[in-house]
Amino acid sequence: MKPQEIEDRSMAIIERELGERRWPPEEMVIVKRCIHTSADFDYADNLVFSPGAVQRGLEALKRGTTIVTDTSMAAAGINKASAAALGVQIRCFMADEEVAREAKNRGITRAAVCMEKAAALGEPVILAVGNAPTALLRLHEMMEAGEFFPELVIGVPVGFVNVVESKELILSSPVPHIVARGRKGGSNIAAAICNALLYQVYRQE
What's the CATH fold of domain 46-201? Rossmann fold (3.40.50)
**Cα separations (Å) of 125 from 7, 64, 176, 192?**
29, 9, 12, 17
Evaluate if residue 15 carries a pLDDT over 90: yes
Predicted confidence band of residue 4 (pLDDT cuts 50, 70, 90): confident
Query: What integer best gives the mean pLDDT of the chain?
Result: 96
In terms of phi and psi (left: phi > 0; alpha: psi -120 to 50; beta: otherwise), the region of 67 is: beta
140 an active-site residue? Answer: no
Please give the average per-residue pLDDT across 150-177, as a whole number. 98
**pLDDT greater than 70 at residue 156:** yes
Report the C-alpha gap between 87 and 83 in whole angstroms. 6
Q: What is the arithmetic mean of pLDDT over 121-150?
A: 97
> How far is residue 138 from each of residues 29, 50, 106, 182, 198, measured CA to CA in Å?
29, 20, 13, 19, 26
Answer for the pair 204, 177: CB distance below 8 angstroms, yes or no. Answer: no
Q: Which of 11, 23, 28, 36 is catalytic?
A: 36
pLDDT for 89 beyond 70: yes
What is the pLDDT, as a whole number, of residue 203? 82
Identify residue 101 by its one-letter amino acid code: R
Is the pLDDT assigned to residue 31 strictly greater than 80? yes
In this predicted structure, the answer to whether residue 1 has a pLDDT above a threshold of 80 is no
Mean pLDDT across 114-136: 97
Share of the chain above pLDDT 90, in %: 95
Residue 3 pLDDT grade (very low, low, confident, very high; cuts 50, 70, 90): confident
Domain definitions of the chain by residue range: 46-201
Strands 90-92 and 66-69: parallel
Nearest CA-CA partner of 45 in 18, 13, 72 = 18
Please tell me the predicted confidence (pLDDT) of residue 66.
98
Please state the rounded mean pLDDT for residues 97-112: 96
pLDDT band at 205 (very low <50, low <70, confident <90, very high): low
What is the per-residue pLDDT across 39-73, written as a single tens digit (0 to 9) for each? 999 999 999 999 999 999 999 999 999 999 999 99
